[in-house]
Chain A
């Protein structure tokens, strides 16, 4: 059974600090997504990583994918309060007629002033 594990599950950090969220998965895939979810809200797409070594950056967030290690990271640079949310990685299982996303456990990020 495919497992997608994120760590940490909860992260409290101070504004201005850097940190990394890790997403490990247990099957072969070279496609991975990161989403953000604010409390009581929908999921917003952040990054789409479609190959080994892919790196994407937007503002203070940078995501990367290492398919050999089955690992993706979401790096936060100089955190600000507005980044407080739950972050999910999702592995794309595709092939044949279907593709589906298997979501990680989520990381709740709280950025303290």
Chain B
């Protein structure tokens, strides 16, 4: 019954590896987002997709590549992981028009060793 679900919840990996995080929402929303929360709890948007189309692409290294196979799914692939990528990554979804609440997933805690 979880509205926005992310997997995995925890991800521990070595520098240089490639990893993916998956996100699915069952709320019928048309827009999905990826956020990064750093160790100081600062939250910053990375990407947003609307109906599988990329609409927000903040200044994020090319090593990060989002993919949306359909409007209910948004995945995040990270190549050549670096120590600075360690953070909690949150997926969120909403209806597109501004003024609608964004619902967040439980987060994926990524630790790069």
Contact = CB atoms under 8 A, between A and B. Distances in A.
B78 interface: no
A65 B75 CA distance: 35
Interface string A92-110: 1010011111110110100
A86 B43 CA distance: 12
B106 A41 contact: yes
Label chain A's interface by main secondary structure: strand
B62 interface: no
A100 B42 contact: no
Most buried by A among B92, B97, B99: B99
Contacts of A25: none
Interface residues of B, number: 22
B101 interface: yes
Contacts of B96: 99
Interface in A27-46: 31, 33, 35, 37, 41-45
Contact of B101 (A41, A45, A100, A105): A45
Q: How large is the interface on A (under 10, 10 to 19, 20 to 34, 35 or more residues)?
A: 20 to 34
A45 B48 contact: no
Interface of B: 33, 41-45, 48, 55-56, 90, 92, 96-99, 101-107
Interface of A: 31, 33, 35, 37, 41-45, 48, 50, 86, 88, 92, 94, 97-103, 105-106, 108
